[in-house]
Amino acid sequence: PNIIFVKPDGTELNVNVNEGVSVMEAGRDANLGIEGTCGGCLSCATCHVIVDADWFAKTGAPSEDEEDMLDLAFGLTETSRLGCQLTMSAELDGIRLTIPDDM
């Protein structure tokens, strides 16, 4: 599946990943400023991404634990998610994600 990352400066990058790869891993490996410091175990929030409103129904809302960690993220929005908790699947092909400014 494809991910469209929108960088803080507004430019877009299309990244193709295998199913099962997390958005955090995809963004980290593409050097997009997504750090994923904790490696995906829900204890950092450096993998914060903003899901396009149109896609939020498909990704679903964050879990309670994820929400607690998101509270520590800068620039939190209504459609914020932690990238390590979003696993890519055919269903999410073409998803648009914005990388917050001050990561």
Positions touching ligand FES (CB under 6 A) are 24, 36-38, 40, 42-47, 69, 82, 84
Measured over all CA atoms, what is the biggest interatomic distance in the chain, rounded to whole angstroms? 32
- In the complex, minimum distance from the CB of residue 42 to ligand FES, in angstroms, rounded to a whole number: 5
- In the complex, minimum distance from the CB of residue 11 to ligand FES, in angstroms, rounded to a whole number: 23
Give 90: exposed, middle or buried? Use CB within 10 Å, 0-12, 13-18, 19+.
exposed
CA nearest to 1, candidates 64, 89, 100, 101: 89
CA distances from 9 to 13, 31, 41, 100 (A): 11, 15, 28, 10
CA nearest to 94, candidates 9, 15, 7: 15
- In the complex, minimum distance from the CB of residue 66 to ligand FES, in angstroms, rounded to a whole number: 8
Toward ligand FES, which CB reaches closer, 29 or 54?
29
Toward ligand FES, which CB reaches closer, 1 or 80?
80
Toward ligand FES, which CB reaches closer, 54 or 68?
68
Toward ligand FES, which CB reaches closer, 1 or 23?
23
- In the complex, minimum distance from the CB of residue 65 to ligand FES, in angstroms, rounded to a whole number: 10
| Token pair 């520590």 in the structure block, residue | 72
